[in-house]
Structure formats: C-alpha cells, structure tokens
Amino acid sequence: SGARVEELNKLIQEFTKHDQREYDDQRALEIHTAKDFIFSMLGMVQKLDQKLPVANEYLLLSGGVREGVVDIDLDELNVYARGTDYDMDFTLLVPALKLHDRNQPVTLDMRHSALCHSWLSLRLFDEGTISKWKDCCTIVDHINGATNYFFSPTKVADWFYESISIVLSEIQKKPQRGMPKVEKVEKNGTIISIILGVGSSRMLYDIVPVVSFKGWPAVAQSWLMENHFWDGKITEEEVISGFYLVPACSYKGKKDNEWRLSFARSEVQLKKCISSSLMQAYQACKAIIIKLLSRPKAISPYHLRSMMLWACDRLPASYLAQEDYAAHFLLGLIDDLQHCLVNKMCPNYFIPQCNMLEHLSEDTVMLHARKLSSVRSDPAEHLRTAIEHVKAANRLTLELQRRGSTTSIPSPQSDGGDPNQPDDRLAKKLQQLVTENPGKSISVFINPDDVTRPHFRIDDKFF
C-alpha cells in the first residue's frame, strides 16, 4: 500500500485515545446505578415465576453484542449507533439453566445440529426443573412412548422478553428518585436490548438468556491438547472453568431447538494474554470493518476476534510483544481477514473443525474481499474515517450532556441522604475498578433476595 508505518501507528494511537472513554466520578456513579437497576430488575424477574436460578451468576462483558463480544448473528439485530442511541454498551449473559455439578467433560446432544451447536434435552435436569420450563420447550415423542423436552432458545427469549416487560412496567408505576429512565426495550432476535438514561448517560444493555455449564465440552477436548499462546501465562483451569449455550442457530439449523456453544468466559481470560498494541490494532480494524462490511451481513467482529486469537497462536511471542507494532498488527489482521474471505474459511478458535464462513455464497465473499482490498491499498484513509466517526459519536454524547436531555431524571448524586451510605462507597469502589481495569470484563455474583450486596470479579480478583 505504500503506507508509512509511523503514520499508521500515530493514527491508531489517535483512534485509541478517542475510542477509550474516561470515567469521572459522575459517570462511574451512573454506570453503577444502571447496573444496579438491571440486577434488581432480574431479581424481580426471578421472583415472578421462580424460573431463573435463585442465586445466579451473570457474566457482564464490556461492549454490546454488535461489538462481537459473543458469537451471535447480527442480521436479526436493529442497528444502534454509539453517540446517536447510546454512550456505553454492555452484554449481560443471564443463565436460565445451570449445569454446575460436573467434573468430567460435558457431552451434549449434537446429533441434530451443525458443528458448534447443540440441542439441550431437559432429561439432564430434575422433575421440578422440567415442569417449570415445559412451556419453553419443543416436545418430541419417541416410538417407545417416552416424551423428550428440548429447551427452546426462541421460546426462552420470548418468555424472557415478556417477563422483563412486565417487571419494567411495574417498576415504572412507582418511579423513585434517581431511578434510570427506560428509553428503549426491544427484542432483537433472541436477545433483549435495553437502553437506560441515567443522569447524562445512556447505557445499552444486551441481555442474553443462556445455559451455563461448569467444565468443558467433549467436542472441544482436542483443542486442549494443542500448544497455545497463553500456555504458561494463565492456567488451564482458568481457561476451561466453564462455557455457555447461547440462543443462536446455524445457517440451516432449526431455530426453535438449536443453541450455539460460546466460550465467552474463556475469552475473558485469554484477553489478559494479548498485548495492548495488538488490542489497539484489533479495535481499530473492527471499527473499519463494522462500517465497511455491514451489507450484506457476512463478517462480524466475532470473526475478527477469532482471527486475532489464531494469529496469537501462529506468530512468535517476541513479535506479538512489540509495543510499537500496532500498524503491523492492523495490516496483518486485514490480510488474515482477506485470506479467510478468499478461501471462505474461518475456523472457530475452540472448535477448529467448525468453519464459520462455510454458508456464505461466492458472490458475497468476493464482494467483501474487494471492499477489503480497498482498505489494504489505503489503510491510513480508512483509519482517518474511523477516527472521524468516533469523534462524531463523542461530540453527540457531549452535546447531549450539555443540553441535559436526560436531566428529567435526577442524578443519583443529587439525592439527599447520608454520603456514607453503602451505595456511595460501592460507587467509589466501582469507579476505582473501572479506572484500574480498562476494557476488562466483570463477573458479578448476586442473590436476587439481597440486591444490596453485589460482588464483583474482574478476571481472577474478587471485590
């Protein structure tokens, strides 16, 4: 391309500066207020019909589903834009069912599914669970007279959306001072997107109903036998502590029955082993491709994340550790993506026998490959465009804050009361966590019967 590496490095630095948000005390308190509201709401959903586990464990990820933090198809999702629709985005994985008592590899029923997908029979659970969730299952009668209930991702999502809607309408009948304003509640395919206005901020929460497992699936067992870039940096126990089924089906799969395996918990751990310059290049590359390759939807940010993990396994650690190689990494990611498109091949990182691009038509991959070659021929220009987009989003956010468009909701800080209340201390603690752990994912343990005591886990530290 003839691009100068120094120039590309400077542009990536500039993009990172505008893309990473600084949190002041007010913003940290607003983040805490929104999170607390969502968790309280989920506690009320649990009490509604007792379907959700009583003491649940959520995984809170920074970035919405559209940012590729989980492998869910984006073609069913409404388009939301940072700056226009929201200022900050999160994904919350909420277990509807948990299988947490297993020490051996978990074997799933994959006879009816494409690779990386599974049906889930409630036979694995007790009678109480089956009777509770019967109405969210598809029923298959066998020749021998037995009835099998298969947990349905679409029915679970419908139930979840209805339950959340009921709870939110109840909450809004008795608004309290400082309570977030619910600006939008939408069902996007099988996820529920909620946008909250808190003080001068708008927070997008993509809430995903999942099935949570401790341990590791048998289908991904061979992956553990290979050498990986994280060997020696984090333990295998940290990487294989658990996985999820998320409500997404394969290209030809049966939407009502098929779930997709997700390794979001493991990816949080792997992220700790990726250099900051590679992460900066990844974020810049993601900003470019989200805009450029959005129509028709074929490549998602999750594909790019998988390619980055493969690159980490393939390239020497000494090369990946270079602090001033962000430009090299950006060009490498574009080349890798181009290679995947031309060959119509993007293996899932944890289950390599699953090709995530297999279903695409030749016309679609060639269209995107041509678009991508225009990026590769002038990466600096596309980076400048990405910088302008993120600056414009930030300007919109600031303009909104100046106009005080959500000031009809009193800021939590304007509440009267004792400044030494636990909430205030928790807000300060949260601000400290956010400042010290930029871009990291937070796991939260919460008891819906006592929403006053959340416990944060950032990577392997507890708070």
Beta strands in 263-414 (DSSP E): none
Gap between the Cα atoms of 283 and 279, Å rounded: 6
Q: What pLDDT, on a 0 to 100 scale, did the predictor assign at position 348?
A: 97
Residues 275-279: contacts with CB under 8 Å, at least 24 apart: 275/320, 275/321, 275/322, 275/323, 276/323, 277/322, 277/323, 277/324, 277/325, 277/326, 277/329, 278/308, 278/312, 278/320, 278/325, 278/326, 278/329, 279/439
pLDDT tens-digit series, residues 75-115: 878 889 898 999 999 999 999 999 876 555 677 888 888 99
Cis peptide before 296 (omega within 30 of 0): yes
Q: In this structure, are strands 191-198 and 181-188 parallel, antiparallel, or unpaired?
A: antiparallel
Tell me what pLDDT residue 159 has.
97
pLDDT the model gives residue 421: 37
- The predicted pLDDT at position 419 comes to 31
What is the pLDDT at residue 451?
A: 46
User: How many other CB atoms are there within 10 angstroms of residue 253's CB atom?
Assistant: 17
Contacts 24+ apart (CB under 8 A), 352-360: 352/223, 353/115, 354/114, 354/115, 354/116, 356/71, 356/116, 356/303, 356/306, 357/298, 357/303, 358/251, 359/250, 359/251, 359/252, 360/298
5-391: which CATH topology?
A: Beta Polymerase; domain 2 (3.30.460)
pLDDT, tens digit, for every residue of 374-428? Answer: 999 999 999 999 999 999 999 988 888 777 644 433 333 333 333 333 344 555 5
Q: Tens of pLDDT along 117-140?
A: 999 998 878 888 889 999 999 998
pLDDT at 112: 85
How many whole angstroms separate alpha carbon 346 and alpha carbon 358? 8
pLDDT value, residue 456: 56
Which tokens is 152 given? Answer: 């349905």
**Has this prediction a pTM greater than 0.75?**
yes
The ranges of the chain with pLDDT < 50 are: 405-424, 446-452, 460-463
In 330-364, which positions are buried (b, 16+ CB within 10 angstroms) versus exposed (e)? bbbbbebbbebbeebebbbbbbeebbbbeebeeeb
Structure-token match 């005591």, residue found: 453
Hey, which residues does 151 pair with through a beta bridge? 137
Gap between the Cα atoms of 374 and 292, Å rounded: 10
- pLDDT for position 58: 94
Per-residue pLDDT, 176:
82
Using left for φ > 0, alpha for ψ between -120 and 50, and beta otherwise, residue 63 falls in left
User: Which residues contact residue 208 at a Cβ distance below 8 angstroms, ignoring those fewer than 6 apart?
Assistant: 65, 70, 72, 91, 92, 93, 94, 190, 191, 246, 247
- Which two structure tokens, joined as six digits, stand for 93? 């994985």
Average pLDDT across the chain, whole number: 86
